Amino acid sequence: MTVLLIDDRTEASRQALTIARQFGEVSAIAMDAIQPFAPDALAAAIAGLNPTAVVGAGTERGNDLLARVAARMNLPFAANCIAVEPGDPVVVTRQRWGGSLLETARLHSPRPLLTVAPHTVPADDGRAPPEVEVRPTGADTTVSVSEHIQPSNGGVSLADAKVIVSGGRGVGSKEGFAIIEELAGLLGAAVGCSRAVTSAGWRPHSDQVGQTGTKVAPEVYIACGISGATQHMAGLKGAKRIVAINSDPQAPLMLNADYTVTGDLKEIVPAISAEIRKRR
């Protein structure tokens, strides 16, 4: 009669643990229990453990795995929850639109399957739950990682970056990003952009921050000339501090930032770079 937590050994899993504990005694199963990562095999192993509920972090792999468990066990699955009320039925509050909208729903299921949206629930700081061993049973490994490709450039990865300097439509052109790159270089930061910028072909999709791009969690996110559509904001849930630079004080991102600077980014961004150099 155990609640199973999928543990990928990150902060997100410890956040998921907080929710899992609401359902009862928790045991954990490692995300990397079956090597190389073979989600169908792992889902089979999970089903075989006959858990009363399965909770994971709402990461890419977490959602992938839980969906397979749900499909295998013919049960409903609620992804990216931020709150639950155990009961019959369980009532979940989950994210829509990357977190810009919240849904309250009833999960009619004998065994609740859900993932917890990262950066929404405090991490459990108690003792780690006991781990369940997984014995490979020759289950289906058709889908498994066969190879890993390292990124080609040595640049700072957007998902890991502590500081991100990001540009939007207000930057004006591909060449306009030179001042963004300059500031990023001085800070050892990654360069990000909005969807408008990738649609215009100024920067590659790998630089895009947002609901359909990369979700980031830096210490500081400096947004230059980005209006702040909900799909972009959805990528910033994990950002600790947002500094917004925009000529329009009413832009949505200006209203949802921690710090704002009003004015022309073409003057402000170089001024920041100059100030940094001055202090070095």
Partner 1 sequence: MRIAACIKRVPITGGRILLTDDGRAINTQHLGFTMSPHEECGVEEAVRLIEANKGDSVVLTLGPPEAVEQLRDAMALGIDRAIHLQTDGQEWDAEATAAALLDAIRADEAARGPFDIIFFGNESADSGGFQVGIRVAYALGRPCVTGLKKVTPEGPSVRCEQEVEGGRDVYVVPTPAVLTVKEGLNLPRYPSVPGRMRARSKPVAVVTPRRPDPRLELVSLAVPAGQGRRAESLGAGAAAAPAVVDLLARAGLL
Partner 2 sequence: MALALFTRRALFLYRLVRSGKPAARFDNLHARTRAEAADVLGQRKLLQRLVPGLMHAAIFWGFLVLFPTILIAMVGAVDAHSTLPWLGAQGWYSFLVDGFALLVLIGVVTAFVIRKVQRPARFEGSHLREADLILVLIAGIVVTLFAWHASQIAVGINDYPAASAPISNALSGVVAPAAPWLERVAVWAHVLIILSFLVYLSYSKHLHIAVAAINVFFGKMRPRGTLDKIDFERPETEVRFGAARATDLTWKQMLDTMSCTECGRCQEVCPAWTTGKPLSPKLLIMAERDHLLSRSEAPIVPTAVIDDIVWDCVTCGACMRECPVNIEHVDHIIDLRRNLVMVESRFPDEAGAMLRDVDRTSNPWGKPQSDRTQWAEGLGVRVLQPGEPAPDVLFWVGCAPAFDERARKAAISTAKLLQTAGVDFAILGPRESCTGDPARRMGDEYTFQRLAGENVQTLNEAKVRKIITTCPHCFNTLGNEYSDFGGKFEVVHHTEFLAELVREGKLSPAASDRTITYHDSCYLARHNDVRSQPRELVDAVGKAVEMPRNRERTFCCGAGGARMWMEEKRGRPINQERVREAAATGAETLAVACPFCTVMLDDGVRETGAKLQVFDLATLLHEAVERKKGDSPD
Positions that interact with partner 2 (CB under 8 A) = 172-175, 196, 199-202, 227, 247-250, 264, 266-267
Contacted by 128, from partner 2, partner 1, none: CB < 5 to 8 Å by type: none
Kindly state the smallest distance separating residue 240's Cβ from partner 1, in Å.
Answer: 8
d(CA 23, CA 38): 27
Q: Is 55 in the site for partner 1 (CB under 8 A)?
A: no
Q: Rounded to whole angstroms, what are the CA distances from 175 to 182, 244, 266, 270?
A: 12, 21, 12, 14
Q: With respect to partner 2, which residue has the nearer C-beta, 184 or 196?
A: 196
Kindly state the smallest distance separating residue 127's Cβ from partner 1, in Å.
Answer: 27
Taking alpha carbons only, the member of 105, 111, 101 closest to residue 92 is 105
CB 28 within 8 A of CB 126: no
Taking alpha carbons only, the member of 214, 238, 107, 26 closest to residue 14 is 26
- Quick one: which of 47, 63, 86, 123 contacts partner 1 (CB under 8 A)? 63
Q: With respect to partner 1, which residue has the nearer C-beta, 56 or 129?
A: 56
Q: Is 88 in the site for partner 1 (CB under 8 A)?
A: no
Taking alpha carbons only, the member of 110, 108, 93 closest to residue 58 is 93
- Count residues near partner 1 (CB under 8 A): 92
Q: Is 134 in the site for partner 1 (CB under 8 A)?
A: no
